[in-house]
């Protein structure tokens, strides 16, 4: 038997808890329900979500709102003490390497054509009432 310190991944309580953490860790009952698009009755939300999370001690009720506890922040993987984000570096110029010459290995090779395969090109075609010569640039071997 394994010990679980929070709701199982992918369950309704887990998704609701993660949404509460995304909301900043504090939300009222109706705001929390609207955030996860809960359509069932409030009593079902309190029974299935809130009571489950309070039994795990990752959510507590404080002044009418539901708040993520320190154990809850540890469960999510975020520290309670907010750290100042380090200042980013200014982006430098992009480096584009010089274009390498194309390799003959990656180019399509001209296939060999058997003798007499292009004799049809000597017969002129008709374009309306005019005869037009065939224009092909294929060499025979």
Evaluate whether residue 29 is within a structural domain.
yes
pLDDT in tens, the chain (141 residues): 345 677 888 899 999 999 999 898 899 999 999 999 999 999 999 999 999 999 989 999 998 899 999 988 888 887 555 556 677 788 878 887 777 777 777 777 777 778 888 787 788 788 788 888 766 554 554
Evaluate whether residue 26 is within a structural domain.
yes
Evaluate whether residue 22 is within a structural domain.
yes
Look up the domain containing 32 and give its range.
Answer: 12-76
Evaluate whether residue 24 is within a structural domain.
yes
Beta carbons within 8 Å of 125's beta carbon, 6+ residues apart: 131, 132, 133, 134
Evaluate whether residue 17 is within a structural domain.
yes
Reported pTM: 0.53
- Domain with residue 41: its CATH number is 1.10.10.10
> Structurally, how many domains does the chain consist of?
1
Percentages of the chain per state (helix, strand, coil), in multiples of 5: 35, 10, 55
């Amino acid at each position: 038997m394994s010990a679980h310190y929070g709701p199982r991944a992918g369950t309704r309580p887990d998704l609701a808890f993660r949404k509460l953490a995304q909301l900043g860790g504090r939300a009222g009952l109706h705001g929390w329900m609207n955030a996860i698009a809960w359509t069932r009755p409030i009593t079902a939300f309190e029974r299935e979500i809130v009571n489950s999370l309070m039994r795990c001690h990752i959510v507590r009720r404080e002044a009418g709102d539901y708040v993520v506890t320190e154990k809850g922040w540890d469960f999510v993987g975020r520290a309670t003490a907010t750290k100042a984000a380090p200042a980013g570096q200014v982006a430098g110029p992009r480096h584009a390497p010089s274009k390498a010459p194309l390799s003959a290995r990656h180019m399509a090779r001209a296939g060999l054509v058997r003798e007499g395969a292009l004799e049809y090109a000597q017969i002129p075609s008709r374009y309306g009432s005019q005869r037009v010569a065939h224009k092909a640039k294929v060499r025979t071997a």
